[in-house]
């Protein structure tokens, strides 16, 4: 256990589809107590409230502090959200509609609560404490089960008039392409996420391809884990190599286009797939992106791997919580 530094302690929570990560974070942005609770996916609002509160209490206990030492709570949650009201509008994965995240947590912990989209929170964590340190214009893309994004301009999260800006995963990179979870066709997420790669691997297996992945995704519904994909990729398995390279090309189409439009200082690549394959994946995406970015002939835009891993969400959530205490008017940006 790390001893907390002087200054207000905040609780950061990262609400994910499979797990809830919580951490008490001190004024020097160190996690001084953490906890992990399985997300009661599909069990509905009562179970979800219980799990969130449990995760928070366990982190507080692990930090060795009393609940009254906490100054604020921040949480990153899957959306769509009403950020101002702190409500999850609907989440099929969590089986909730109009879930009062902010009210639930402020009642349980008796402090102000800041709510923001999970990916934006992770991106903000990377911006302030990870690969984006020292930059003001940042674009982050997280490649995992889906593809999430976060745009930061002049040091603030851009959420746009819709409240949902930053959805890099739903840029359409192949007209009429495969169907995306959002209902549209040809979104980046439908071509370059782990889910998309898994679907392609199943297809290759059906055609009789010889690959060690046959042992990994035995049934039609087997999911491919990032580390399994990474290990097949590293071993030079032609199916894994082909699919990873294809995903990187589609990422390049989207990110290169975004360089042309936005000209960020840095693009941060994170998420399970990026972390598992590591620098070779970043290099593939970097090359694919550069080949699409006509507006950056001098290669001024840096393209780097995220640094915080699983802690990005908890740290980012703690930062938005801290901002709520110190600059309540700045929490929501346009």
Nearer residue to Zn ion within complex by CB, 36 or 199: 199
What is the closest distance, in whole angstroms, from the C-beta atom of residue 148 to Zn ion in the complex?
Answer: 11
Residue 130 burial by Cβ neighbours in a 10 Å radius (0-12, 13-18, 19+): buried
What is the closest distance, in whole angstroms, from the C-beta atom of residue 178 to Zn ion in the complex?
Answer: 10
What is the closest distance, in whole angstroms, from the C-beta atom of residue 107 to Zn ion in the complex?
Answer: 35
| 8 A C-beta contact, residue 324 and residue 72 | yes
Token output for 199:
């679907």
Nearer residue to Zn ion within complex by CB, 112 or 186: 186
What is the spatial distance between Cα 299 and Cα 181, in angstroms, rounded to a whole number? Answer: 34
β-pairing, 266-270 vs 302-305, is parallel
Nearer residue to Zn ion within complex by CB, 45 or 178: 178
Nearer residue to Zn ion within complex by CB, 139 or 232: 139
What is the closest distance, in whole angstroms, from the C-beta atom of residue 169 to Zn ion in the complex?
Answer: 6
Sign, CA torsion 30/33/39/45: negative
Nearer residue to Zn ion within complex by CB, 26 or 167: 167
What is the closest distance, in whole angstroms, from the C-beta atom of residue 276 to Zn ion in the complex?
Answer: 23
What is the closest distance, in whole angstroms, from the C-beta atom of residue 175 to Zn ion in the complex?
Answer: 13
Nearer residue to Zn ion within complex by CB, 182 or 294: 182
What is the closest distance, in whole angstroms, from the C-beta atom of residue 179 to Zn ion in the complex?
Answer: 9
Sign, CA torsion 285/288/290/295: negative
What is the closest distance, in whole angstroms, from the C-beta atom of residue 177 to Zn ion in the complex?
Answer: 10
| CB neighbour list of residue 333: distance below 8 Å, 6 or more residues apart | 156, 157, 158, 159
Nearer residue to Zn ion within complex by CB, 128 or 170: 170
| CB neighbour list of residue 46: distance below 8 Å, 6 or more residues apart | none
Token output for 207:
């055609």
Give the single-character DSSP code of 116: E
- Phi then psi for residue 144, to 5 deg, are -145, -135
Nearer residue to Zn ion within complex by CB, 180 or 251: 180
Q: Which of 78, 89, 82, 11 is nearest to 41 (CA)?
A: 78
What is the closest distance, in whole angstroms, from the C-beta atom of residue 195 to Zn ion in the complex?
Answer: 11
| CB neighbour list of residue 107: distance below 8 Å, 6 or more residues apart | none
Nearer residue to Zn ion within complex by CB, 92 or 309: 92
Residues of this chain that interact with Zn ion (CB under 5 A) are 170, 180, 182, 184, 187
Residue 88: left (phi > 0), alpha (psi -120 to 50), or beta? beta
What is the spatial distance between Cα 192 and Cα 254, in angstroms, rounded to a whole number? Answer: 10
């Amino acid at each position: 256990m790390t001893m907390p530094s002087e200054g207000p302690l905040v609780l950061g929570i990262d609400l994910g589809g499979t797990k809830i990560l919580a951490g008490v974070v001190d004024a020097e942005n160190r996690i001084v107590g953490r906890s992990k609770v399985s997300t009661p996916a599909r069990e509905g609002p009562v179970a979800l409230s219980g799990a969130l509160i449990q995760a928070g209490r366990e982190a507080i206990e692990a930090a060795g502090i009393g609940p009254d030492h906490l100054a604020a709570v921040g949480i990153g949650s899957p959306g769509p959200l009403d950020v101002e009201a702190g409500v999850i509008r609907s989440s099929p994965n969590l089986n909730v509609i109009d879930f009062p995240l902010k009210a639930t947590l402020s009642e349980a912990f008796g402090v102000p609560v800041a709510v923001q989209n999970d990916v934006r929170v992770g991106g903000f964590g990377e911006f302030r404490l990870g690969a984006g340190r020292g930059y003001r214009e940042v674009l982050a893309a997280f490649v995992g089960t889906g593809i999430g994004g976060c745009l930061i301009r002049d040091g603030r999260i851009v959420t746009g008039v819709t409240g949902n800006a930053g959805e890099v995963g739903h840029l359409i990179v192949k007209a009429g392409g495969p169907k995306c979870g959002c209902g549209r066709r040809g979104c980046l997420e439908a071509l370059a996420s782990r889910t998309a790669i898994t679907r392609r691997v199943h297809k290759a297996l059906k055609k009789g391809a010889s690959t060690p992945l046959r042992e990994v995704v035995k049934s039609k519904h087997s999911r491919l884990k990032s580390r399994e994909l990474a290990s097949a990729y590293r071993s030079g398995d032609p199916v894994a190599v082909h699919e990873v390279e294809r995903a990187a090309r589609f990422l390049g189409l989207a990110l290169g286009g975004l360089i042309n439009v936005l000209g960020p200082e840095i693009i941060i690549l994170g998420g399970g797939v990026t972390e598992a394959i590591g620098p070779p994946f970043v290099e593939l995406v970097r090359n694919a992106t550069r080949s699409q970015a006509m507006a950056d002939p001098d290669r001024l835009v840096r393209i780097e791997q995220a640094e915080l891993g699983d802690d990005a969400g908890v740290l980012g959530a703690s930062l938005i919580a801290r901002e709520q205490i110190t600059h309540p008017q700045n929490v929501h940006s346009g």
